[in-house]
A = this chain, B = another copy of it.
Amino acid sequence: MYGRGSFEQLDEILAPHRKENAPMIFLVDHFFEGKPLLGRLPVRANDKVFSADVTYEPKTTYVDELANHLKESYGKVSGIIGIGGGSTMDLAKAVSLMMNNPGSSADYQGWDLVKNPGVYKVGIPTLSGTGAEVSRTTVLTGPTKKLGMNSDFTPFDQIVLDPALTVNAPANQRFYTGMDCYIHCIESLEGTYLNEFSKSYGEKALQLCREVFLNKTCWDEESDDQLMMASYAGGMSIAYSQVGVAHAVSYGLSYLLGTKHGVGNCIVMNQIEEFYPKGVAEFKRMVEKNKIDIPEGICKGLSDEEFEKMINVSLGMKPLWENALGKDWEKIMTRDKLRALFEKL
């Protein structure tokens, strides 16, 4: 469901999915604490609103804690409604899955490990760019890796894309998150995994990113509309493609330093002309045009052991490297070369 004001239909959307005595659980980005959005939630009967703490990107421990709390408190729930940015989307998807799958979410970090569908889940993004609202993954930081629960059961049952919800996003955050979409597109369109489905969506998302971040002279309602569609199309594009170098490297940063995904991608994109010369040049024009600061020098003073950790996490993202550099990627992206890249960030 897409459109300004579509959030008002949430009560109607949820109604047929309500089960007796089983609450709807609203997981709302802590950004909205004390804000009017909370008053607009269609809370009924024993429904419960939780503030999603996304100070850090979701950890498997946090997912398990939330899912276990819900199971202990309510037995069954009717559904999980995630409202927020990419972290909240991922958290909602993961908690939904963990309501119906035993063990820890860390057990399911990987591809097609999830065995059972989750409970009914709805995604309502309030920040555009990650594509988490449509993707088949939910990126989690676990005890040994930062990796998603990629599965056919992961996507939301329903998404509500109301661009009016993104109006108050801080400009820096909006840019970093929007760049997640832009970088996705560059990585997938220049990758070796691609078909016409992903190409069509990727090209459309890219065009919309260019429109809002380069061509337009000011940010208006239409920009919010367009960036929300860019995020959706970028997420759809990933169905039959893969991300590449920027994501693989940024996962390493995020694992060790807790660098958030959007800004992490930007930090890496800033330094990888070698792999995406045109894309990086255009990215830099977008940074300049939008007057955004991209942090530098964030790896200064790290120990050898810390670099090794980041390199291990990053090189573990095999499909990303293969997409970017082909079957022989290990010969191209050696540990030394990757270390040199991390040192530049």
Partner of A229, one of B200, B208, B233: B200
Residue A203 at the B interface, CB < 8 A? yes
Residue A228 at the B interface, CB < 8 A? yes
Residue A102 at the B interface, CB < 8 A? no
* Interface of A: prevailing SS: helix
Residues of B within 8 A of A196 (CB): 2, 163, 222, 225-226, 228-229
Residue A197 at the B interface, CB < 8 A? yes
Residue A240 at the B interface, CB < 8 A? yes
Residue A195 at the B interface, CB < 8 A? yes
Residues of B within 8 A of A163 (CB): 196
Copies of this chain present: 2
Please tell me if the beta carbons of B200 and A204 are within 8 angstroms of each other in the complex: yes
Please tell me if the beta carbons of A197 and B240 are within 8 angstroms of each other in the complex: no
Residue A161 at the B interface, CB < 8 A? yes
Residue A326 at the B interface, CB < 8 A? no
Residue A3 at the B interface, CB < 8 A? yes
Interface membership of chain A positions 215-241, coded 1 if the CB is closer than 8 angstroms to chain B and 0 otherwise:
000000010011011000100000110
Residues of B within 8 A of A228 (CB): 196
How close is A196's CB to chain B, nearest CB, in angstroms? 4
Give the distance in Å from the alpha carbon of A233 to the alpha carbon of B197 in the complex: 10
How close is A228's CB to chain B, nearest CB, in angstroms? 7
The A178-197 residues at the B interface (CB cut-off 8 A) are 195-197
Most chain B C-beta atoms within 10 Å of own C-beta, residue among A2, A161, A226: A2
Residues of B within 8 A of A226 (CB): 196
Taking CB as reference atom, which chain B residue is nearest A161?
B197
Binding site for B on A (CB under 8 A): 2-4, 161, 163, 195-197, 200, 203-204, 208, 222, 225-226, 228-229, 233, 239-240
Further contacts, 9 of them, CB under 8 A, given A195-B225, A196-B226: A2-B196, A3-B197, A3-B240, A161-B197, A196-B228, A196-B229, A200-B204, A200-B233, A203-B204
